[in-house]
């Protein structure tokens, strides 16, 4: 009987130990599950952060490409403006060249007595155009040392083109007026020569 009670007590003690071990294992399992949930949340957060960094990288790369394209465009415009400024002939020189070419063409059909007056007229017209030119007037103004922006250069280019067109129209109009005067002068000379010939051909009264 005593042995039976001793065995029962031993089994109860082992059972208590097993219950305690099971309780400890459950506690450890709960801690592991909690840590696992934390790890999963952290992994999800890191994945989202990685996606955000990838999106920012793509955006920065796109902006860098746009900046490169813009810089190439700006460089091309600057080179074009520099080339245009190098190849541009001054307004006064263009006026003189156009007047000289027109005069050489029209003078080939004019009488010799009209050449002197035409040359004087050409000189007066050229000097008047050059003196009235905004470029000539601006040359007397003080020189500013402020840097010229690309927008200012474009405005200057547009104004210069507009002024060239206006001067060209004035030159063409002046040439037309000169040709008309020359034709009238030639016609008057022809009438004078014809009248003189008629007077010479009339018989004298005896």
The confidence score (pLDDT) of residue 196 equals 57
Phi, psi of 32 (to 5 degrees): -65, -40
Look at 91-95, 116-120, 168-172, 177-181 and tell me which has the smallest mean pLDDT: 116-120
pLDDT averaged over every residue in the chain:
72
The confidence score (pLDDT) of residue 48 equals 92
How far CA 4 is from CA of 12, 72, 110, in Å, comes to 12, 100, 155
pLDDT above 80 (res 39): yes
The confidence score (pLDDT) of residue 126 equals 45
For residue 172, give both structure tokens: 């063409």
* Nearest CA-CA partner of 93 in 140, 135, 155, 121: 135
Phi, psi of 140 (to 5 degrees): -85, -10
The confidence score (pLDDT) of residue 23 equals 92
Taken in order 39, 43, 45, 49, the sign of the CA dihedral is positive
Q: What is the SS3 assignment for 110?
A: coil
Q: CB–CB of 163/134 below 8 Å?
A: yes
Outline where the chain has alpha helix (H).
2-87, 91-107, 115-132, 134-138, 150-201
The confidence score (pLDDT) of residue 51 equals 92
Residue 50's pLDDT band, with cuts at 50, 70 and 90, is: very high
**Whole-number CA gyration radius for the chain:** 51
């Amino acid at each position: 009987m005593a042995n039976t009670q001793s065995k029962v007590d031993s089994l109860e003690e082992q059972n208590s130990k097993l219950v305690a071990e099971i309780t400890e294992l459950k506690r450890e399992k709960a801690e592991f599950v909690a840590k696992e949930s934390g790890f999963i949340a952290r992994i999800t957060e890191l994945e989202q952060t990685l996606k955000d960094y990838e999106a920012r990288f793509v955006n920065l790369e796109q902006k860098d490409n746009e900046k490169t394209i813009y810089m190439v465009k700006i460089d091309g415009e600057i080179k074009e403006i520099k080339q245009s400024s190098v190849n541009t002939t001054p307004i006064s020189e263009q006026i003189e060249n156009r007047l000289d070419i027109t005069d050489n063409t029209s003078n080939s059909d004019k009488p010799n007595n009209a050449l002197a007056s035409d040359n004087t007229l050409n000189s007066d017209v050229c000097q008047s155009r050059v003196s009235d030119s905004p470029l000539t007037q601006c040359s007397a103004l003080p020189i500013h040392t402020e840097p010229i922006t690309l927008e200012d250069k474009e405005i200057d280019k547009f104004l210069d083109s507009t002024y060239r067109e206006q001067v060209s129209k004035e030159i063409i109009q002046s040439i037309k007026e000169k040709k008309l005067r020359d034709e009238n002068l030639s016609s008057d000379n022809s009438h004078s020569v014809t009248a003189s010939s008629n007077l010479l051909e009339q018989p004298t009264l005896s």
